[in-house]
Structure 1
């Protein structure tokens, strides 16, 4: 490396270098990092540098401009020197004219040629005429103080030609002498017609035998018969397309026909009263006509849901169909299915009536399922915990039946083949749901009761003693007033015949006093104060509502004066005696 740092390294040019600022053919390059082009500095190696011939700049002008540029850079600093090209345009140094003469594309090509030769140790400078000749004489170095000949080159001198060696790359040619770039060699891949369009869509232009030699150059490689192969391929493609479109049209037509048939045609239906095969169909509570039709079609009773819905609407009693289990035949016409479901003999249901005791419900289930007597009761005693009772149920060891009061009144499916617990579970679930809706847990304290089970027990007493719904609220007040241990009439004794009859598993209103007083069972409210251990029946909605909303008229007594439906109430014991005499007269006792 010389004292001016013009070696092969990345050292910047020394400011005292007499050729500082000199470039290729008179072009002034901005100061910056070392360039690979024989020491020429450049700021942006990625940008091509335009070339100017000596027609615009002489050797003396280059040296003068280099000195002026050096002074200018010393005055305004190194930062502005990086923008040398912009300074040329602003100061009018004819660079714009030469740049217009040589477009950017040529400048880029020259730059690429320079970059290829940039690895040479010395950069060739061309003399006064720029690109006047194609020969470049090799001149030996004569000045020991200037071993690179840059002093001589700056004043039009010549420098040794690094391209003169036999193995070297040819020297850069002027734009006018450059040969056109060779076309890229052809490859085996032929994009085919329309710049790579797939042959499937392009067809086969060579089938007529007029295909050029260039196009058929690949034919040898494909082998003979290539045109026939492409023709067969095109024919198969057309066939596939035809099949796809044909299948699509067929599918649209089929579904269109089905849509028309479903909307405007008659619904599919069986004919006649069905086969000899019998099936049981369970219809859930709250099911609509379409829901019933779905259940019947699934069981094989009717052929279509629409046919059943239409038959139900045509039948004047069709809307009266209720939830339950029905014994029906398979493959029945929709009209026959509706008629058979309206027949009570085909209905496989168990009806729980308000105020009905569990023993009566168990007997109905045994009969409906064709089971021996007592089967359902035994199943209830063993599996009551798995049927869905509320948490507050059965909190007393004196309770006779844990399910008493939890078989909610209603109609439930009960067909042959079903298990007793399967029939009982929907009843218990319905009771738990209803009691939660009524809020028995939250209202117990307001009624001065210990728990929801006592509220349910009061409702069962009202259901057992009341005769009509009008009596229920007065009956509820009688219960609450008598439960008050401080009341002056009964002092906490209910004295209800219904509790004693429940204990005896009978319904007898003629009970002797000796029989009552001799029995000390917790369900005997004549000898035990307060409520019985649990409900004595399954109360309905009206009784539950009355238990939650009693009257406040001061009633303590009631008597069924006609012995059947008429109940009269009294506030004192004296009024009660009069009502009792009235009953005795009506009954003839």
Structure 2
């Protein structure tokens, strides 16, 4: 392969002997279509030969000692034009590492020392394989192609569409221009609009960019024009978007928030503010209801009002299209609040009346709804397990403040109360606690809490009162024989709050809620216990209390462990209440 007379145009220089006879090789003219596969039928283009030779030399792991003329890209070859690694002296081919071969299994360049081909064929002494086209001595590309290294490497640049075209190696001794793997030409993403150049071929015979640009010039111009239009539209939209958002940013940061003027219209609307809602959430609710124009305006007005942070959860009757300042002032006015408050120990019958009043309903409407729809309001599964229960919802309207404004349905108000009670009771795991306190079910535990709430006067009394209940329920109780004897249960069944009950009246009533005539707990709660009473029922004292008396008839409750101590407390009560 290396016998075409050197590297400058692949011809023997004047005054030097060619390894294959000393004369330049000429071949009959053949078509310039590149061939692949057979030795001598078209070779690799000179473009890239230096990489091929370097790789080949590195695979052999040997060094050449005698350079042939000038070095080409620092690759050296022996003076005789033969490749040292491929032609040993004995004519036998040495094993090669990492050598690639064509598909027919033959190595394209296997020669012995006498120029014979190792597969049995013969070449003439100093002969050369037939080239696919004539070599023009003045054409360095044709000579290099003719001297290509067989079909060992694919010709990546022989097709008409190959790009970029091979470049001449330059004069001997001159460094080859550095190569890059990125070309910002039209076929690599650079528009011809920016690349410049015409549609005519280049000086290299029409094989460069100009030739490619000339074949697709009109389409490229059309696409380039469209690309420019798209760029203009995109840039215009971007500028507009930046301007819009910039204006919005300025308005949000430095401009006044949109707001209505005045105290609003005659149209009213109810807004429900949930627990824990802050200024932003309240403002959003008011804006959605049409009360204020913007959330920011409400937040600013709330911060400017000294009592703005005192807005509580609940339902508010407000006007539409109010200024934010007027809305804040109206929400701080108790007259605008449409809430129902359930207090600890309050009975259901009182809660029903309050709901009717807030919703503008006729008396008894809410109570009837409770009796008919209690099963759909979210009670726990253990509620109402006694047929003698007077009100299925008693003990399940948890103390708190709930929205109740005109337009709302009674069941909606009741459901929120029941949901709150169920959540609280589940949090305390009443099933396990009831069993630990020798009660049959969680409902009895709620009932104990309602008794503690009704009989206790202060938080300090609650735990002692709970112990009294549990001690009287014990089978070993010989003081009262498991009778609770609480006036509060008798008052519940009578719907009264009388502290002076005649002995004859109370002992003659056999109602299940009368704990003077029935042992144990009443069928169900007698009111809605608060959290303090519930905690006391879960954690009573253990000091032996079994009696108690409100000695002042109002708020002072004293406790006793024996019947004798109890009688002294009764005398004190009578002295304080007889006038």
TM-score range, shorter chain: 0.5 to 0.7
Hey, what does 1:422 align to over in structure 2? 412
In the alignment, does 2:401 pair up with 1:411? yes
Unaligned runs of at least 5 residues, structure 2? 1-19, 21-35, 42-82, 95-100, 110-118, 137-141, 147-156, 166-183
Task: Pick from 562, 572, 576 the counterpart of residue 552 of structure 2.
Answer: 562
The corresponding residue for 2:539 is: 549
Give CA deviations for 1:228-254 in whole Å, capped at 9, x if unaligned: x98787555434322321221221222
| C-alpha separation in 2, matches of 1:125 and 1:414 | 110
1:482 alignment counterpart = 472
Which residue of the partner structure matches residue 112 of structure 2?
none
Matched with 1:470 is 460
- Equivalent of 1:519, from 491, 494, 509? 509
Larger RCO of the pair (alpha carbons < 8 Å, separation 6+): 2
Q: Which residue of 2 aligns with 1:333?
A: 323
CA distance, structure 2, for counterparts of residue 321 and residue 570 of structure 1: 46
What is the CA deviation profile of residues 478-529 of structure 1, one whole-angstrom value per residue up to 9, with x for unaligned ones? 1111112322321111111110111112222222112112111111100001
Q: Distance in 2 between matches of 1:232 and 1:127?
A: 58
TM-score normalised to structure 2 length: 0.68
Aligned twin of 1:76:
none
- Counterpart-to-counterpart distance in 2, 1:558 and 1:370: 43
CA distance in 2, matches of 1:175, 1:204: 37
Contact 1:561 1:582 (C-alpha < 8 Å) held by counterparts: yes
| Closer/same/farther in 2, CA of residues 126 and 512 from structure 1, 3 Å limit | closer
- Determine the structure 2 residue equivalent to 1:30: none
**Distance apart, 1:218 and its partner CA:** 12
Aligned to 1:437: 427
Residue 262 of structure 2 corresponds to 272
**What is the DSSP-based 3-state SS (H/G/I as helix, E as strand, rest coil) of the residue aligned with 1:445?**
helix
Whole-angstrom CA distance in 2 between matches of 1:362 and 1:174: 111
8 Å CA contact 1:302, 1:308 repeated in 2: yes
Alignment of 1:132-171 (within 5 A): none
Assess if the C-alpha contact under 8 Å between 1:204 and 1:231 holds in 2. Answer: no
Deviation at 1:270, TM superposition (A): 1.8
Cα distance between partner residues in 2 of 1:197 and 1:49: 34
Q: Is the 8 A contact 1:131 1:174 kept in 2?
A: no
Which residue matches 1:382? 372
The structure with the larger Rg is 1
| Aligned position for 2:341 | 351
TM-superposed deviation, 1:185? 9.5
Matches within 5 A, 1:103-182: 173=130
Aligned partners of 1:460 and 1:537 also within 8 Å: yes
2:521 aligned partner: 531
Is the contact made by 2:461 and 2:557 (CA closer than 8 Å) also made in structure 1?
yes
- 8 A Cα contact 2:549 2:559, kept in partner: yes
1:412 is paired with a residue whose SS is: strand
Q: Which moved more, 1:197-206 or 1:277-286?
A: 197-206
Distance in 2 (alpha carbons) for counterparts of 1:130 and 1:345: 120
**Equivalent residue in structure 1 for 2:294, among 277, 294, 304:** 304
From 229, 232, 235, give the equivalent of 1:245: 235
SS of 1:281's partner is strand
Secondary structure, aligned partner of 2:296:
helix
3-state SS of 2:559 partner: strand
More helix by percentage: 1
- CA offset at residue 268 of structure 1? 2.2
- Structure 2 Cα separation of the partners of residues 176 and 435 of structure 1: 100
Which residue, 356, 370, 388 being the options, matches 2:360?
A: 370
Contact 1:355 1:540 in 2 (8 A): yes
User: How well do the aligned residues superpose, as a CA RMSD in angstroms?
Assistant: 4.2
- TM-superposed deviation, 1:312: 1.6
Say whether the 8 Å CA contact 1:204–1:230 is kept in structure 2: no
1:442 to partner: Cα distance: 1.4
Structure 1's 268 and 552: CA in aligned 2 closer, same or farther, altered over 3 A?
same
SS in 1 for 2:436: coil
CA distance in 1, matches of 2:202, 2:132: 40
| Aligned length in residues | 448
Q: 1:420: how far off? A: 0.9
CA distance in 2 between partners of 1:317 and 1:546 (Å): 36
Distance 1:526 1:200 in 2: 103
Aligned counterpart, 1:117: none
Q: CA deviation at 1:406?
A: 0.5
Say which SS state the counterpart of residue 351 (structure 1) adopts. Answer: strand
Aligned to 1:448: 438
User: The residue matched to 2:405 in structure 1 has which SS?
Assistant: coil
SS in 1 for 2:269: strand
Structure 1: give runs of 5+ residues left out of the alignment: 1-24, 26-44, 51-84, 97-103, 113-122, 133-171
Q: 1:131 to 1:395 in 2, by over 3 A?
A: same
Separation of aligned partners in 2, 1:313 and 1:88: 93
Q: Distance in 2 between matches of 1:468 and 1:575?
A: 21
Deviations 1:127-179 (A, max 9, x none): 966759xxxxxxxxxxxxxxxxxxxxxxxxxxxxxxxxxxxxxxx74799668
Does the Cα contact within 8 Å between 1:205 and 1:211 map onto a contact in 2? no
State the secondary structure of the residue aligned to 2:435.
coil
From 189, 192, 202, the equivalent of 2:193 is 202
- In structure 2, relative to structure 1, the CA distance for the partners of 1:410 and 1:572 (3 Å cut) is same
